[in-house]
Structure 1
Amino acid sequence: MAVYIPPDSKAKEALHELYEAISKLQTTYPEGLFIIAGDFNHANLKSVLPKFYQQVDFPTRGPNILDLVYTNIKSTYKATPLPHFGLSDHITVQLTPAYKPLLRRAKPGSKQVRVWPETADAALQDCFECTDWFIFREAATDDDQCTDINEYAESVTAYINKCIEDLTVMKTITVCANQKTWFTSELHKLLKARDAAFKTGDVAELRTARNNLARGIKLAKQEHAHMRTHAILSLPYQTH
């Protein structure tokens, strides 16, 4: 809401009108963010709306703070003084959101991921089918025929992990703070293609790009779920 209260106006009457208008909006939109900005001169909005917070803390005209910004959420913006606009005797006030998205607060990092080749599933299944699982139990069983379950589980788990390591490869990738675990380089290409199609203004091209992206996201989520299933299956288990 933009406000201008002339120097010769009656502050009490002006604030009453502001209070009525703002209260009506707050009743209609109780969860909304309200920004009241303008030249208030001698009027103080907090005298009628004490739960609004003033964001400007430096002079905007000579030694006086006349151009104010009130919000109903504390520390919403950071105010910065800038040069006068044209021949105005008021300086310019730049408002920057105080909140920084996670993407801007955290630098991209790198991590290693295990990549499953197309043939890894079948090869791993063949490996397990050809394995004599009894030898792991036998190795963990003493002369009294008592099986050490911890040793048994550790040996089976180590064997499974060794098979997985032999059939897969490790790859270092760059990740952003807000990046989903299922987001792949292929999806990044599809996303760029969608944005490029949007800029061209070609409706048919954009429709195709959006459909390709939607299919790519669905496939990436399925593959990610498949990988998680493999990880769960790699946990220790008993065989008979």
Structure 2
Amino acid sequence: MQDCFQRTDWEVFDHQDLENHTSVVLDYIRFCTDNVTRDRCIRIYPNRKPWMTEEVQSLLTARNTGFRSGDKVLYSAAKANLKRGIREAKVAYRRKIEDPHQE
């Protein structure tokens, strides 16, 4: 935004008519905002947590497979990996939400 304001010709905003002045200022703010920001379409399903990624989904499938197999060692390792994966996914999601410009 600062770069947009530095290149501004401020004489454009000199109007006697309040209606015209307001219109010009609001249009310019909208123009600067459109140049700086971008629109994103985010699809959220009501039955899915926002931090649930494909990696967490695969870890969940591995845990379920380990449970069904009856192998306690495999199930225990898969459960630990799932717990670690969920923790990492939540941290990554929190970072993404707190700083949306970082990607």
The bucket for the TM-score relative to the shorter chain is 0.5 to 0.7
Matched, 1:210 2:86: no
Residue 49 of structure 2 corresponds to which residue in structure 1? 180
Instruction: State the AA in 1 paired with 2:90.
Output: K
Equivalent positions of 1:68-107 (< 5 A) are: none
Matched, 1:142 2:10: yes
After superposition, the Cα gap between the structure-2 partners of 1:230 and 1:151, relative to the gap in structure 1 and judged at 3 Å, is farther
Q: Which whole-Å deviations, capped at 9, do the CAs of 1:59-85 have from their partners, x for residues lacking one? A: xxxxxxxxxxxxxxxxxxxxxxxxxxx
Which of 212, 220, 226 is equivalent to 2:89? 220
**How many Å apart are 1:161 and its aligned residue?**
2.9
TM-score (norm 1): 0.31
Question: Aligned residues: percent identity?
Answer: 23
After superposition, the Cα gap between the structure-2 partners of 1:134 and 1:161, relative to the gap in structure 1 and judged at 3 Å, is closer
In terms of Rg, which structure is larger?
A: 1
RMSD value over aligned CA atoms? 3.6
Unaligned runs of 5+ in 1: 1-132, 235-240
Give the distance between the partners of 1:154 and 1:224, measured in 2 at CA.
30
Unaligned runs of 5+ in 2: 15-24
More strand, by proportion: 1
After superposition, the Cα gap between the structure-2 partners of 1:172 and 1:181, relative to the gap in structure 1 and judged at 3 Å, is closer
Instruction: State the AA in 1 paired with 2:36.
Output: I
Matched, 1:158 2:37: no
More helix, by proportion: 2
Equivalent positions of 1:2-17 (< 5 A) are: none
**How many Å apart are 1:149 and its aligned residue?**
7.9
TM-score (norm 2): 0.64
Secondary structure of the corresponding residue to residue 143 of structure 1: helix
After superposition, the Cα gap between the structure-2 partners of 1:219 and 1:138, relative to the gap in structure 1 and judged at 3 Å, is same
| Matched pairs, number | 92
After superposition, the Cα gap between the structure-2 partners of 1:154 and 1:216, relative to the gap in structure 1 and judged at 3 Å, is farther
Whether contact under 8 Å (1:136, 1:152) holds in the other structure is: no
After superposition, the Cα gap between the structure-2 partners of 1:149 and 1:230, relative to the gap in structure 1 and judged at 3 Å, is farther
Secondary structure of the corresponding residue to residue 223 of structure 1: helix
Whether contact under 8 Å (1:182, 1:220) holds in the other structure is: yes
Give the distance between the partners of 1:152 and 1:192, measured in 2 at CA.
49
Give the distance between the partners of 2:37 and 2:3, measured in 1 at CA.
17
